[in-house]
């Protein structure tokens, strides 16, 4: 069972303990109108994970009630995603369309009970009659039809006698309900379209709110777990089941926050637009957040499930940093994949004093990875190195090959530049070098000290490969449309060179290309004649990301990062700190990694923690705000000390200030060294938590935004953030966000 007892598992345990259910049955009910994305992966992990943890089972059910958008290719993609993630559904795949006859029979029951009617209003009038958040709706005149007339019309609708939109079947509930979803919601609509499974038998199809709850009931589902946008639909879910008087046990709906990731879109409509307008190369384009795309890029099921577990299950929507997903795949592959050498931008090096050829022994794995495996690397007079690994006019802190600075060839020898050849335009075409015969890796007796090791390939035996370098599809954190696409999201290198064992021996399908990143042999386009590799994710702390090396880093620290260009394995003491941070202090793994690897930060963190026992809040502040200050300064140069940070955290924890205000106070502390409490008092930054002050502001904002209120109550719960943001803006960021969230949620019900 998961170590984390989230609120959903708490509900399940309570239901088992009280005897509400004997067995737990969940379901994953996607609509087969697009390829599943990583948000679906979270839902899959929750539904199948809960069933597994409590010895129950999970059904896979296609919610196929809209024949105009559904397709068998989407069904297969959904099945494939569940299996690839390592889960099994109970029995055969289920389909809402399997239950069409039962659903229709229940619809007839509601009509006979006087709880449903056929409405013939046009769409515009129906919308007008619905009312607003402040005004009750108006019931259609057709609601007064007799049960016999309604049954006749419903039968004729089913038989295809009417046009699309000419009639609908509606529940008769309450046109003045505060939850606008309950104002006589639609149960069936006419669709003259061929259904991919049911054929042409039906001309009417159930709406989600009618088909979903009853399908759950048919399957004996106990916990119907949905994302937050269906929170208002729960009232309809309960109304349908309760009104029909279905025999218990019955299912209940529970909602969790959907997954949002920055630099990413997960709207099916927007993903479909990207695919159909050829902005990407199909649903499995490695830049997409689809499971097919992530899989083709080289992500592993373990990394995605670990990501889902790390972000947890929340009740409020939020956005997760895509770096957290990248951390999970990097963390997973670090102990799994072989290290090899690939040169993306080759520069020829001729070693004039080397004669003949040689095969060098090289392990696929560093010492800290408990795996065995090695290969022979050919070495001769002519090799290729990465073009950026030579500089004729090196910047400060450049530790690779220069006219005056030797460098080690990984697994080979130390070489020294003797001559630089250029073409007529001044471009470097070749380096003439010498090697030291006594400097062979593993038996170096040369006495030469170098500061870096670089990758290389033998000119004669290297294999030409195509490398696809993928970057984020969008260039901004919160993309809205096509204008936000990143024009540099894909770069294709046709003539990269890789050491021969990778292609000839195929020791794996995923590799770490030394100092470049993690790569995956493309499962579609790779052939022996034309090997193709996709970049999964870059290496943390590569030289390209360290051009502005913090002045406070010691030379030894820079060297550690530069030699391999990858995440340096933790020392025993760093690993011990990391374990303490994640297990005892419950820190996020990324924050723990930052603190454990930096002695100054970990020491400062410990000092603050000794003054205020609030490990998570302190860790986030130190790993972000304090770390930025220490990039340019030593600890003794800071304008603030650990005691000041402890005071700031205390004000955060007791609700005196908000996170936004805390950042403002920290900036002032960093500049002036002023006591944080004095800054808060002098600037009047005390957080407003008094409901008597906040409520009138909320009321005013709600009154000014009736359209958004209606959309929220109609199911767009993402607008909660809009209202909270408006209140915070109106109070200059001083209102307590927690209090505002609670009050806004209450008033919008």
Average pLDDT over residues 451-479: 95
564 pLDDT exceeds 60?
no
Residue 268 is among the residues annotated as catalytic for this protein: yes
Length of the chain as a residue count: 749
Coil, strand or helix: which one is 527?
Answer: coil
Active-site entry in 268, 451, 559, 660? 268
Q: What is the pLDDT of residue 2?
A: 44
**Residue 31 among the catalytic residues:** yes
Could you give the CA distance from residue 391 to residue 332 in angstroms, rounded to a whole number? 34
> Is residue 79 over pLDDT 60?
yes
Most distant CA pair in the chain, distance: 101
Average model confidence (pLDDT) across the chain: 90
Residue 541 clears pLDDT 70, i.e. is over it = no
Q: What is the pLDDT of residue 718?
A: 61
pLDDT value for 194: 95
pLDDT band of residue 568 (cuts 50, 70, 90) is low
End-to-end CA, the chain: 35
CB–CB of 59/221 below 8 Å? Answer: yes
Question: Which domains, and CATH codes, for the chain?
Answer: 7-98+211-260 (3.40.50.620), 103-208 (3.90.800.10), 339-547 (2.40.240.10), 570-683 (no CATH), 691-747 (1.10.10.410)
Q: How confident is the model at residue 293 (pLDDT cuts 50, 70, 90)?
A: very high
Residue 569 has pLDDT above 60, yes or no: yes
499 in active site: no
Question: Is the pTM here over 0.75, yes or no?
Answer: no
Q: Using the predicted structure, report yes or no on whether residue 629 has a pLDDT greater than 90.
A: no
| pLDDT tens-digit readout, 574-614 | 888 888 998 889 887 778 888 988 888 999 999 999 999 89
Q: Is 228 helix (H, G, I), strand (E, B) or coil?
A: helix
**67, 395, 399, 565 from 547: Cα distances, Å:** 55, 9, 12, 12
Given a cut of 80, whether residue 715 has pLDDT beyond it is: no
Asked if 266 and 37 touch (Cβ cutoff 8 Å), the reply is yes
Identify the active-site residue in 13, 31, 149, 466: 31
Say whether pLDDT at 465 is over 70: yes
Residue 748: the pLDDT is 86
Residue 557 pLDDT greater than 60, yes or no: no
Check 139, 158, 234, 258 and give the catalytic one: 258
Confidence band of 295 (pLDDT split at 50, 70, 90)? very high
Q: Write out the two tokens for 737.
A: 């966000």
- Tokens standing for residue 417: 């530049």
Q: Alpha-carbon distance 495 to 493, whole Å? A: 6
User: Per-residue pLDDT for 562 more than 50?
Assistant: no
Q: Would you say residue 349 has pLDDT above 80?
A: yes
- What's the CA angle centered on 239, arms 267 and 105, to 5 degrees? 90
Instruction: Give the mean pLDDT of 49-53.
Output: 96
Query: Is the confidence at residue 4, as pLDDT, over 70?
Result: no
Q: Tell me: the pLDDT tens digits for 273-284? A: 999 999 999 999
pLDDT score, position 736: 76
């Amino acid at each position: 069972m998961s170590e984390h007892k989230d609120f959903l598992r708490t509900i399940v345990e309570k239901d088992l303990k009280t005897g509400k259910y004997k067995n737990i049955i969940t379901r994953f009910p996607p609509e087969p109108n697009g390829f599943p994305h990583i948000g679906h992966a979270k839902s899959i992990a929750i539904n199948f994970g809960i069933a597994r943890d409590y010895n129950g089972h999970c059904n896979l059910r296609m919610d196929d009630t809209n024949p105009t958008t559904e397709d068998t290719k989407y069904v297969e993609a959904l099945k494939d995603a569940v299996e690839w993630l390592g889960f099994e559904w109970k029995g055969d795949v289920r389909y809402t369309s399997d239950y069409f006859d039962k659903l229709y029979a229940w619809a007839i029951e509601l009509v006979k009970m006087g709880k449903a009617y056929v409405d013939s209003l046009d769409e515009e009038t129906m919308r007008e009659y619905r009312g607003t958040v402040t005004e009750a709706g108006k019931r259609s005149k057709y609601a007064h039809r007799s049960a016999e007339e309604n049954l006749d019309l419903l039968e004729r609708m089913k038989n295809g006698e009417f046009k699309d939109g000419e009639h609908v079947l509606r529940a008769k509930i309450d046109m003045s309900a505060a939850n606008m979803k309950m104002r006589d919601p639609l149960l069936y609509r006419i669709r003259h379209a061929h259904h991919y499974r049911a054929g042409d038998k039906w001309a009417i199809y159930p709406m989600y709110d009618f088909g979903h709850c009853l399908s759950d009931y048919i399957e004996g589902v106990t916990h119907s777990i949905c994302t937050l946008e269906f929170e208002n639909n729960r009232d309809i879910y309960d109304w349908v089941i309760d009104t029909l008087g279905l025999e218990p046990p019955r299912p209940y709906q529970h909602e969790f926050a959907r997954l949002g990731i920055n630099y990413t879109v997960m709207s099916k409509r927007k993903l479909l637009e990207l695919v159909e307008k050829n902005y990407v190369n199909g649903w499995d384009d490695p830049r997409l957040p689809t499971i097919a795309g992530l899989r083709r890029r080289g992500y592993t099921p373990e990394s995605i499930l670990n990501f889902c577990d790390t972000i947890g299950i929340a009740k409020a929507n939020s956005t997760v940093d895509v770096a957290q997903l990248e951390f999970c795949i990097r963390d997973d592959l670090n102990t799994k994949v072989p290290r090899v050498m690939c040169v993306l931008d080759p520069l020829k090096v001729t070693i004039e004093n080397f004669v003949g050829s040689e095969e060098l022994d090289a392990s696929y794995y560093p010492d800290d990875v408990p795996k065995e495996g090695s290969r022979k690397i050919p070495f001769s007079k002519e090799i290729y190195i990465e073009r950026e690994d030579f500089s004729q006019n090196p910047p400060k802190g450049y530790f690779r090959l220069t006219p005056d600075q030797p460098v080690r060839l990984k697994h080979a020898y130390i070489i020294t530049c003797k001559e630089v050849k250029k073409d007529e335009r001044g471009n470097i075409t070749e380096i003439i070098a010498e090697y030291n015969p006594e400097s062979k890796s593993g038996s170096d007796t040369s006495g030469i000290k170098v500061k870096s090791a670089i990758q290389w390939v033998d000119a004669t035996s290297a294999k030409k490969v195509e490398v696809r370098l993928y970057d984020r599809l969008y260039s901004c954190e919160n993309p809205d449309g096509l204008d936000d696409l990143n024009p540099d999201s894909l770069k294709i290198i046709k003539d990269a060179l890789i050491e021969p064992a990778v292609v000839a021996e195929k020791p794996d399908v995923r590799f770490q290309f030394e100092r470049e990143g993690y790569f995956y042999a493309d499962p579609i386009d790779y052939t022996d004649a034309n090997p193709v590799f996709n970049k999964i994710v870059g290496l943390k702390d590569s030289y390209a990301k360290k051009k502005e090396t913090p002045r406070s880093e010691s030379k030894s620290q820079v060297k550690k990062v530069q030699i391999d260009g990858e995440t340096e394995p933790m020392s025993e003491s760093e690993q011990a700190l990391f374990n303490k941070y994640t297990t005892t202090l419950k820190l996020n793994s990324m924050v723990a990694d930052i603190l454990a690897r930096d002695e100054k930060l970990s020491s400062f963190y410990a000092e603050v923690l000794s003054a205020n026992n609030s490990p998570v809040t302190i860790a986030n502040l130190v790993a972000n705000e304090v770390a930025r200050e220490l990039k340019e300064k030593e600890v003794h140069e800071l304008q603030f000390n650990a005691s000041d940070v402890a005071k700031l955290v205390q004000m955060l924890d007791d609700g005196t200030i908000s996170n936004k205000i805390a950042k403002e106070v920290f900036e002032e502390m960093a500049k002036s060294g002023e006591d944080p409490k004095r800054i808060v008092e002098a600037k009047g930054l005390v957080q407003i938590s008094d409901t008597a002050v906040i409520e009138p502001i909320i009321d005013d904002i709600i009154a000014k935004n009736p359209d958004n209120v209606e959309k929220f109550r109609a199911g767009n719960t993402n607008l909660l953030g809009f209202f909270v943001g408006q209140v915070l803006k109106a109070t200059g960021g001083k209102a307590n966000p927690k209090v505002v969230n609670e009050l806004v949620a209450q008033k919008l019900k």
